[in-house]
C-alpha cells in the first residue's frame, strides 16, 4: 500500500479529468464486492470508509446500511458510507453519516480520486430526497438500469 505522500504525489502527476455533469447510476446499499474493489483501488482510504465499519455501526447501534454506490458518467465508481435509522418503516427513515462517536466516512472515489464535480453530483442526488432504494437506477429518473 502506498503512503499518503506517495498517493498524493500520484494524484498530482496525473492531470485532472472532470466528471461530466449529468445522470449517474446509484445503488443502495453498496454490494460488498463493489465496495471492496473501490476501497482496494484507493491508496489513502480510511477505516471508517470500509464495509466492516458500517456493519459494526449497524450491529452495535441498531442502524441499517444505507451506503450508496455512484457510477459517474466517466465510469468511475464512488462510495458514500451512510446509515439509516428506521422509524415506523422506510417512509420515515432517515439516512445520515455516522452517529456521534463513530467518526466520519466521507466520499470514497475509485483510484482514490474525488473531484469537486463528484461531490456536487452526490449532493444533488441526496438533495432530491428520493429515499432509499435497492439496485441500480438512474439518479435523474425513476427507471431502473440494468448492469
Which pLDDT belongs to residue 61? 87
Q: How far is CA 38 from CA 34, 85, 94, 127, 131, in A?
A: 6, 25, 25, 24, 24
pLDDT digits (tens, 9 = 90+) for 68-86: 999 988 899 999 999 988 6
Does residue 143 surpass a pLDDT of 50?
Answer: no
Burial class (CB in 10 A: 0-12, 13-18, 19+), 23: middle
Q: How far is CA 36 from CA 19, 22, 41, 79, in A?
A: 22, 26, 8, 10
Amino acid at each position: 500500500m502506498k503512503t499518503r505522500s506517495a498517493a498524493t504525489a500520484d494524484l498530482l502527476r496525473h492531470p485532472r479529468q472532470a466528471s461530466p455533469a449529468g445522470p449517474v447510476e446509484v445503488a443502495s446499499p453498496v454490494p460488498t464486492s463493489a465496495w471492496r474493489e473501490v476501497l482496494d483501488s484507493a491508496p489513502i482510504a480510511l477505516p471508517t470508509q470500509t464495509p466492516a465499519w458500517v456493519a459494526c455501526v449497524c450491529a452495535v447501534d441498531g442502524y441499517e446500511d444505507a451506503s450508496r454506490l455512484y457510477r459517474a458518467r466517466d465510469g468511475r465508481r464512488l462510495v458514500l458510507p451512510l446509515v439509516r435509522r428506521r422509524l415506523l418503516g422506510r417512509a420515515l427513515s432517515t439516512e445520515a453519516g455516522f452517529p456521534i462517536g463513530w467518526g466520519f466516512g466521507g466520499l470514497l472515489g475509485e483510484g482514490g480520486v474525488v473531484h469537486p464535480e463528484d461531490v456536487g453530483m452526490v449532493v444533488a442526488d441526496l438533495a432530491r430526497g428520493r429515499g432509499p432504494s435497492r439496485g441500480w437506477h438512474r439518479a435523474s429518473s425513476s427507471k431502473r438500469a440494468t448492469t
